[in-house]
């Protein structure tokens, strides 16, 4: 069909945002024969289909009206209580009323944009950070400032200096198994951050969809859990979580823990946006969490991801040697790597991505994950959905594309 839409009608705020370079890549990811290290999806084979089917049945039996009717914008009460218990088991003591359920944690980010960002406001993000966050905050007119990240997460010295200089509306961080950095913020840095938040009255946003996906040992406690030990810090902290990476992204169940005044405004904005997160999905999620099956499902999936991560890191070291550098992730779904240029090998990951697709392997070039000063030598490789055989075959194809 010929498209004759008058594009002058688009709101000016859309000019702050470009279509993601990664969306273009997604078009090739599903093509037969492509080994994909590109997506950020969990492994579909990890879905506890039987457990979710039982939970859905249970939801209709136990809550036939609540699961099919409109619901409270703040969320289905039994689910809010289950999520509070889930967070409590990880050391963050919160009440159900301290959180609202969101349609994926993506909606929590959108609600933060709606409630907090006026055009021109400064927001500090990590470099690199989650691409959808960059786009969402820019849509609301934020001026994004980038704080550097190393293997131990955000560089707190640099962040403190940026906070002092820019006095941002808030600081957005993915402290645990970051997407795409794979990095984990050390315990010492977490404590420093919370103290900085209190001293400088700076709002911190902790986005934590991956914290449960650890390999050998659990990560340091979340900022939310640690905030109990830092008087006053809870007033400067927002935490978002999600069932997407630990149960199913299709349920679209996430949540946001925040000070009451912010939760109330976020709930008001959610009212105008989707009124409530699917009550059927919420009731199903509540029944699933109450069934106690999550622990077993997580134990299985952690072991699978740990093996795949190790397989990918071993293969990258073996095949690409010093042409690539990376830190082995301790959890999550991603290896974040840099092309070093050793022995004259190319360093532009976008050019490499094109050659890699010709060889039959896809990954995501790193530059779009930077709000400023993109690092064109960086790339994100996901090990989550490929078997170990395919990971090894994919790394060989990558070697072919990089070293010929
Ligand atoms: C860091 C981060 N935050 C938020 C999300 C959004 O997840 P969801 O809306 O499925 O909960 C993702 C998804 O990939 C992510 O990587």
253 CA → ligand 1 middle, Å: 11
Do both 160 and 280 map to the same domain? yes
Q: What is the pLDDT of residues 171-208, one digit of tens each?
A: 999 999 999 999 999 999 999 999 999 999 999 999 99
Do both 121 and 266 map to the same domain? yes
Report the percentage of the chain scoring pLDDT > 70: 97
In this predicted structure, what is the pLDDT of residue 16? 81
| Of 292, 319, 354, the domain-final residue | 292
Do both 306 and 259 map to the same domain? no
Residue 155 lies in a domain: yes
Q: Is 168 in the pocket of ligand 1 (CB under 6 A)?
A: no
Do both 285 and 301 map to the same domain? no
**CATH classification at residue 308:** 3.90.1150.10
Q: CA quadruple 238, 177, 149, 383: dihedral positive or negative? A: negative
What's the structural domain count of the chain?
2
Do both 30 and 86 map to the same domain? no
CA-wise closest residue to 215 among 38, 120, 334? 334
Q: Which of 20, 242, 249, 334 to mutate to test the pocket of ligand 1 (most atoms within 8 A of CB)?
A: 242
Report the C-alpha gap between 239 and 270 in whole angstroms: 17
| Of 257, 292, 327, the domain-final residue | 292
Do both 29 and 111 map to the same domain? no
181 CA → ligand 1 middle, Å: 14
Do both 148 and 117 map to the same domain? yes
Q: Count of CB atoms within 10 A of residue 44's CB?
A: 12
E strand or H helix that includes residue 126: strand 122-127
Residue 30 lies in a domain: yes
E strand or H helix that includes residue 60: helix 49-62
Domain range spanning residue 340?
15-47+296-403
Do both 140 and 255 map to the same domain? yes
Q: Which of 106, 125, 243, 368 to mutate to test the pocket of ligand 1 (most atoms within 8 A of CB)?
A: 106
Report the C-alpha gap between 399 and 257 in whole angstroms: 44
Do both 216 and 152 map to the same domain? yes
What is the pTM assigned to this prediction?
A: 0.96
CB 153 within 8 A of CB 183: yes
Residue 378 lies in a domain: yes
In this predicted structure, what is the pLDDT of residue 21? 62
Q: What is the pLDDT of residues 82-141, one digit of tens each?
A: 999 999 999 999 999 999 999 999 999 999 999 999 999 999 999 999 999 999 999 999
Residue 23 has pLDDT above 70, yes or no: no
Q: What is the pLDDT of residues 205-230, one digit of tens each?
A: 999 999 999 999 999 999 999 999 99
In this predicted structure, what is the pLDDT of residue 1? 65
Residue 344 has pLDDT above 90, yes or no: no
pLDDT bracket for residue 345 (50, 70, 90)? confident
Q: Is 249 in the pocket of ligand 1 (CB under 6 A)?
A: yes
Q: Which residue has the higher pLDDT, 326 or 18?
A: 326
Q: What's the chain's average pLDDT?
A: 95
In this predicted structure, what is the pLDDT of residue 3? 77
Do both 301 and 280 map to the same domain? no
In this predicted structure, what is the pLDDT of residue 20? 65
Task: Give the mean model confidence (pLDDT) for residues 393-400.
Answer: 97
Residue 6 lies in a domain: no
In this predicted structure, what is the pLDDT of residue 73? 98
In this predicted structure, what is the pLDDT of residue 22? 66
**CATH classification at residue 127:** 3.40.640.10
Q: What is the pLDDT of residues 127-170, one digit of tens each?
A: 999 999 999 999 999 999 999 999 999 999 999 999 999 999 99
41 CA → ligand 1 middle, Å: 10
58 CA → ligand 1 middle, Å: 27
Residue 3 lies in a domain: no
| Of 229, 257, 292, the domain-final residue | 292
Residue 7 lies in a domain: no
CB 287 within 8 A of CB 76: no
Residue 382 lies in a domain: yes
Do both 214 and 320 map to the same domain? no
In this predicted structure, what is the pLDDT of residue 404? 84
Report the C-alpha gap between 142 and 134 in whole angstroms: 9
Q: Is 248 in the pocket of ligand 1 (CB under 6 A)?
A: no
Report the C-alpha gap between 80 and 5 in whole angstroms: 43
Do both 321 and 229 map to the same domain? no
Residue 173 lies in a domain: yes
């Amino acid at each position: 069909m010929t498209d004759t839409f008058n594009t002058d009608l688009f709101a000016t705020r859309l000019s702050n945002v470009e279509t993601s370079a990664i969306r273009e890549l997604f078009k090739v990811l599903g093509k037969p024969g492509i080994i994909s290290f590109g997506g950020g999806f969990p492994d579909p084979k990890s879905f506890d289909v039987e457990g979710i089917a039982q939970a859905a049945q249970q939801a209709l039996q136990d809550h036939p009206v609540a699961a099919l009717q409109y619901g409270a914008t703040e969320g289905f009460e039994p689910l809010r209580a289950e999520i509070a218990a889930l967070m409590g088991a990880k050391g963050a003591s919160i009440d159900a009323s301290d959180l609202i359920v969101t349609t994926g944690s993506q909606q929590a980010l959108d609600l933060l944009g709606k409630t907090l960002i006026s055009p021109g406001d400064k927001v500090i993000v990590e470099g690199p950070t989650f691409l959808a966050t960059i786009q969402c905050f820019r849509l609301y007119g934020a001026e994004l400032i980038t704080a550097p990240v190393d293997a131990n997460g955000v560089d707190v010295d640099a962040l403190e200096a940026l906070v002092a200089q820019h006095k941002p509306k808030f600081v957005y961080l993915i402290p645990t198994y970051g997407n795409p950095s794979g990095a984990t913020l050390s315990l010492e840095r977490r404590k420093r951050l919370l103290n900085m938040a209190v001293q400088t009255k700076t709002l911190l946003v902790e986005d934590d969809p991956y914290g449960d996906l650890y390999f050998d040992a659990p990560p340091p406690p979340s900022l939310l859990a640690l905030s109990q030990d830092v008087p006053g810090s809870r007033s400067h902290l927002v935490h978002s979580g999600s069932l997407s990476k630990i149960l199913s992204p299709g349920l679209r169940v996430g949540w946001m823990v925040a000070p009451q005044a912010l939760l109330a405004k976020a709930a008001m904005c959610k009212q105008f946006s989707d009124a409530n997160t699917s009550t059927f999905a919420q009731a199903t999620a509540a029944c699933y969490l109450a069934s106690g099956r999550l622990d077993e499902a997580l134990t299985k999936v952690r072991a699978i991801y740990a093996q795949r991560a190790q397989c990918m890191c071993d293969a990258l070291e073996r095949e690409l040697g010093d042409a690539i550098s990376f830190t082995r992730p301790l959890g999550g779904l991603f290896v974040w790597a840099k092309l070093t240029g050793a022995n004259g090998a190319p360093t532009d990951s976008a050019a490499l991505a094109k050659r890699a697709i010709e060889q039959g392997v896809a990954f995501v070039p790193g530059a779009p994950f930077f709000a400023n000063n993109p690092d064109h030598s960086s790339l994100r490789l996901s090990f989550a959905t490929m078997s170990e055989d395919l990971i090894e075959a994919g790394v060989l194809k990558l070697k072919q594309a990089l070293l010929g």
